[in-house]
Amino acid sequence: MRSIIITGGAGFIGSHVVRLFVNKYPEYRIINVDKLTYAGNLANLKDIEDKPNYRFVKADICDFDAIYALMQEENVDGVIHLAAESHVDRSIKDPFTFARTNVMGTLSMLQAAKLYWESLPEKYEGKRFYHISTDEVYGALRLDHPEELFTETTKYQPHSPYSASKASSDHFVRAFHDTYGMPTIVTNCSNNYGPYQFPEKLIPLFINNIRHRKPLPVYGKGENVRDWLFVEDHARAIDLIFHKGKVAETYNIGGFNEWKNIDIIKVVIKTVDRLLGRKEGEDLNLITFVTDRAGHDLRYAIDSRKLKTELGWEPSLQFEEGIERTVRWYLDHQEWMDNITSGEYEKYYESMYANR
Ligand code: NAD
Ligand code: DAU
């Protein structure tokens, strides 16, 4: 029996992690703590919401008292911490919210776990605080040096307010291990894609725009490179590392799957066209080059050999299959998409792009 808080479980990656744990471990109690910001959506968890080992708690991770009380009430022995503000463009417009949630919220989770676990006779025995982070903390790699990859020892060099806030939260997590002996783990993952991603991120935004024949705003020249991993492979890695990872370690998680934005966009366009019965490539003319993102990191690429060597994890899905499944999922779940993109959000989206 374990009692695990998963924060941010109503978001994109969190919902996949919650689903995996609830289904795979019926003997565990899974408590999804989520504030339900614009990015949190309980519709992402419809299929498991009635399972007896699942509980949803609407709470802000910055609310130390609420988190501490919940840990006591549920005898929590594990935390998988995903809740965060996650969109780089929003962090450029509103960095304070990112510092509050990503830095202060993580600190509040750590302090609540520390005080609760230290109050128990067994203290940190059998406990685990697992923090989910990003490859963006390492900064950017060079385009003309494909041999360069982010490893677990790459220096932190965040460029955006988002990545600076995630870097700061990573440091706090490690500090709680080094100072108090808390059994922590940090993982840094590359770009995820798959079902249930909020349609402000490149792939779901573009799938929806192509469907509605709206322009596709490509930042700069579309030459930036990202390393794409199917979200269920990330969830599998989180499961493995939560159970088998070594305390105080960092693991990089990535797909060995680098794509230039413009190339992945063309693949998405052709896949949507084909699945909608349009002439393949007929929507390529929707590509619209717009002003670049400020401080836009040129290239991310993860070296995940440590995770493979030590724990035997590898991505299971070929990209061609993953992107086909992803596009098909969004086209088949138009109602999910419409519920998000109608009303208030539409106004927000238009204001985001009004001055580009
Ligand atoms: P998301 O934006 O889809 O979901 C974030 C979730 O956190 C939402 O459900 C939101 O309601 C919740 N949340 C936000 N602020 C909160 C608060 N103050 N209290 C409680 N809940 C709050 O994010 P995602 O893409 O699923 O990312 C999840 C985590 O994984 C983040 O920590 C992110 O930094 C990290 N990550 C994401 C990616 C990626 O490609 N998406 C890659 C690597 C790491
Ligand atoms: O690398 C991991 C990170 O990946 C996560 O930590 C973040 O939470 C997640 O949002 C993601 O960050 P990116 O900034 O890489 O993802 P995004 O989908 O916003 O953008 C992917 C690339 O596409 C990036 O180079 C910017 C570009 N882009 C994005 C959007 C939304 C465009 O050209 N046009 C767009 O409209």
Which of 5, 13, 135 has most ligand 1 atoms within 8 Å of its beta carbon, as the pocket-test mutant?
A: 13
- Ligand 1: residue whose CA is nearest its atom 37: 134
Query: Which one is catalytic: 77, 136, 283, 297?
Result: 136
What pLDDT score does 145 carry? 96
Tell me how far the alpha carbon of residue 83 lies from the centroid of ligand 2, in angstroms: 18
Q: Nearest ligand, CA of residue 189?
A: 1
Q: How confident is the model at residue 152 (pLDDT cuts 50, 70, 90)?
A: very high
CA 238 to chain centre: 11
Q: Judge if the beta carbon of residue 208 lies within 6 A of ligand 2.
A: no
pTM summary value: 0.97
**What is the rounded end-to-end Cα distance, in angstroms, of the chain?**
52
Q: How confident is the model at residue 344 (pLDDT cuts 50, 70, 90)?
A: low
- Ligand 2: residue whose CA is nearest its atom 14: 88
List, for residues 73-99, the tens digit of each pLDDT value. Answer: 999 999 999 999 999 999 999 999 999
With a Cβ cut-off of 6 Å, ligand 1 is lined by 7-8, 10-14, 34-37, 39-40, 60-62, 82-86, 101, 105, 132, 134, 166, 189, 191-192, 198
Report whether 17 contacts 82 (CB < 8 A). Answer: yes
The domain covering 3-352 belongs, at the CATH homologous superfamily level, to NAD(P)-binding Rossmann-like Domain (3.40.50.720)
Q: How confident is the model at residue 352 (pLDDT cuts 50, 70, 90)?
A: low
CA 153 to chain centre: 21
CB within 8 Å of 278: residues ≥ 6 apart = 272
Provide φ and ψ at 28, rounded to 5°. Answer: -90, 155
Look up 310 and say whether it is catalytic.
no
Q: Judge if the beta carbon of residue 216 lies within 6 A of ligand 2.
A: no
Tell me how far the alpha carbon of residue 244 lies from the centroid of ligand 2, in angstroms: 30
- Ligand 1: residue whose CA is nearest its atom 29: 82
- Ligand 2: residue whose CA is nearest its atom 3: 191
Look up 135 and say whether it is catalytic.
yes
- Ligand 1: residue whose CA is nearest its atom 13: 83
List, for residues 162-220, the tens digit of each pLDDT value. Answer: 999 999 999 999 999 999 999 999 999 999 999 999 999 999 999 999 999 999 999 99
Report whether 59 contacts 66 (CB < 8 A). Answer: yes
DSSP characters over 71-121: HHHHT--EEEE--S---HHHHHH-HHHHIIIIIIIHHHHHHHHHHHHHTST
Q: Nearest ligand, CA of residue 34?
A: 1
For the chain, give the percent of residues with pLDDT over 70.
96
List, for residues 317-343, the tens digit of each pLDDT value. Answer: 999 999 999 999 999 999 999 999 886
| Number of the ligand 2 atom closest to the C-alpha atom of 220 | 33
The answer to whether residue 53 scores a pLDDT higher than 90 is: yes
Q: Nearest ligand, CA of residue 8?
A: 1
Mean pLDDT of 135-163: 97
Q: Judge if the beta carbon of residue 82 lies within 6 A of ligand 2.
A: no
**What are the extents of the domains in the chain?**
3-352
Mean pLDDT of 109-125: 98
What pLDDT score does 1 carry? 76
Which of 191, 203, 224, 350 has most ligand 2 atoms within 8 Å of its beta carbon, as the pocket-test mutant?
A: 191
Q: Judge if the beta carbon of residue 217 lies within 6 A of ligand 2.
A: yes
- Angstrom distance (rounded) from CA 279 to CA 268: 14
By the 10 Å C-beta count (0-12 exposed, 13-18 middle, 19+ buried), 332 is classed as: exposed
- Angstrom distance (rounded) from CA 47 to CA 24: 14
What pLDDT score does 158 carry? 98
Cα-based torsion angle of the residue sequence 250, 128, 88, 284 in order, rounded to the nearest 10 degrees = 80
Mean pLDDT, all residues of the chain = 96
Report whether 290 contacts 262 (CB < 8 A). Answer: no
What pLDDT score does 342 carry? 82
List, for residues 279-322, the tens digit of each pLDDT value. Answer: 999 999 999 999 999 999 999 999 999 999 999 999 999 999 99
Q: Judge if the beta carbon of residue 233 lies within 6 A of ligand 2.
A: no
List, for residues 210-233, the tens digit of each pLDDT value. Answer: 999 999 999 999 999 999 999 999
Residue recorded with tokens 């949803």 = 56
Choice between 351 and 3, residue whose per-residue pLDDT is larger? 3
The answer to whether residue 234 scores a pLDDT higher than 80 is: yes
What pLDDT score does 190 carry? 98
Q: Judge if the beta carbon of residue 297 lies within 6 A of ligand 2.
A: no
User: What are the CA-CA distances from residue 311 to residues 24, 137, 293 (Å)?
Assistant: 19, 23, 37
